[in-house]
Structure 1
Amino acid sequence: MSENRPSYLILTLVSLASLIIDQVTKAYIDRVMDLHQSIPVIRDLFSITYVRNKGAAFGFLANTSFRIPFFIFVSIVAVLVILYAYRKLRKDQKLAQVSLAMILSGAVGNLIDRVRLGEVIDFLDVYWKTYHWPAFNVADSAICVGVFLLAIDMLREESRQKKALSAK
């Protein structure tokens, strides 16, 4: 293995930690709450609300007959692309390593639900009075945070490359 390869320890630890938190929270919600039950946490802002999502973001493709094979296929492709991209990172790209590990864990977390249940357990409900963001879960959060961190890393990488070129 090349000395400039990314750390697979980061990939393993971040992915496993996030995946465990995702699966434990979903199992807990499924065990202690009734479907559609809601527990207010911050009035007019945040509740724990147990819902199940048969589709993707915002219920996309929820009522199609091919949704489960489609989402499983897309998830597997995403996992393979993430692993390939991870392999291409340099050792010093720690933020990108963490971000791809988070995205990977989110994809796997929701894939587990789709294979096991045919749908995804969501429970984080953010809203303002009557305006609701669709409920989501830890896996969704890991994907979003991972994408945000990856965007930051890409901007930093672009800046590093510009500085390197101007130094020549």
Structure 2
Amino acid sequence: MGKVRWYGLAMVVFIADQTAKSYVDLNTPLGWSVNVTSFLNLVHILNPGAAFSFLAGAGGWQRWFFLAIALAISAWLVWFLSRPLHKSEGLACGLILGGALGNAFDRAVRGQVVDYLDFYFRGWHWPAFNIADMAIVGGAMVLVANTFVNKEKTPAQNQNSIEKKVN
């Protein structure tokens, strides 16, 4: 049952991400921006690159490069989720998987990733991002926190220890 919840989480992230991106893509013109608060704009931006628009102007090959990376990471996460994991590891992998698939879908179908959240402070803007990006960063933060907080062995290591004691 545990694995199903993490795949379910990935699917929820993917659906929420694609729903928001589709809404922005279908209902706002490219370049649109509206001020929501003193620190948030909703925008419609297309990002052909990766985080912080890395390789955005690379000429088009980066679309397939980043798509291949996202699919490879997704395949690895599906494999990793099939193993015994701590809840925090499953949570992190489910978040990252959903985000990676959300951005991979954009690259495959739209050619670029739709970004729509623009946070700023006193004229300093964080690069625009989306739900998939938040899930990936959140999952990565959980993995990093897990290395500091959860010093005990993984469930697979615990099982190996039990088997050694039995033999």
* Aligned match of 1:138: 131
The separation in 1 between residues aligned to 2:57 and 2:35, in whole angstroms, is 29
Is 2:148 aligned against 1:155?
A: yes
The separation in 2 between residues aligned to 1:79 and 1:33, in whole angstroms, is 30
* Aligned match of 2:53: 59
Deviations 1:51-88 (A, max 9, x none): 00010011111122321221111111111222232233
Any conservation in 2 of the 1:89–1:96 contact (CA below 8 Å)? no
Which one of the candidate residues 18, 22, 25 is aligned to 1:23? 18
Is 2:8 aligned against 1:13?
A: yes
Give the CA RMSD over aligned residues: 1.6
Is 2:94 aligned against 1:111?
A: no
The separation in 2 between residues aligned to 1:95 and 1:10, in whole angstroms, is 12
The separation in 1 between residues aligned to 2:122 and 2:29, in whole angstroms, is 23
The separation in 1 between residues aligned to 2:146 and 2:42, in whole angstroms, is 32
Any conservation in 2 of the 1:89–1:97 contact (CA below 8 Å)? no
How many correspondences in the alignment? 153
Identity across the alignment (%): 30
The separation in 2 between residues aligned to 1:80 and 1:31, in whole angstroms, is 30
Is 2:32 aligned against 1:37?
A: yes
The one-letter code matched in structure 1 to 2:84 is L
**TM-score normalised to structure 1 length:** 0.85
The separation in 1 between residues aligned to 2:6 and 2:35, in whole angstroms, is 35
The separation in 2 between residues aligned to 1:13 and 1:85, in whole angstroms, is 15
The separation in 1 between residues aligned to 2:114 and 2:131, in whole angstroms, is 10
* Aligned match of 2:69: 74
The separation in 2 between residues aligned to 1:57 and 1:149, in whole angstroms, is 19
State the Cα distance separating 1:12 from its structure 2 match: 2.0
The one-letter code matched in structure 2 to 1:29 is V
State the Cα distance separating 1:34 from its structure 2 match: 1.2
State the Cα distance separating 1:156 from its structure 2 match: 2.4
Any conservation in 2 of the 1:15–1:102 contact (CA below 8 Å)? yes
Deviations 1:74-110 (A, max 9, x none): 11111122223223333xx112101100000000000
The separation in 2 between residues aligned to 1:146 and 1:53, in whole angstroms, is 21
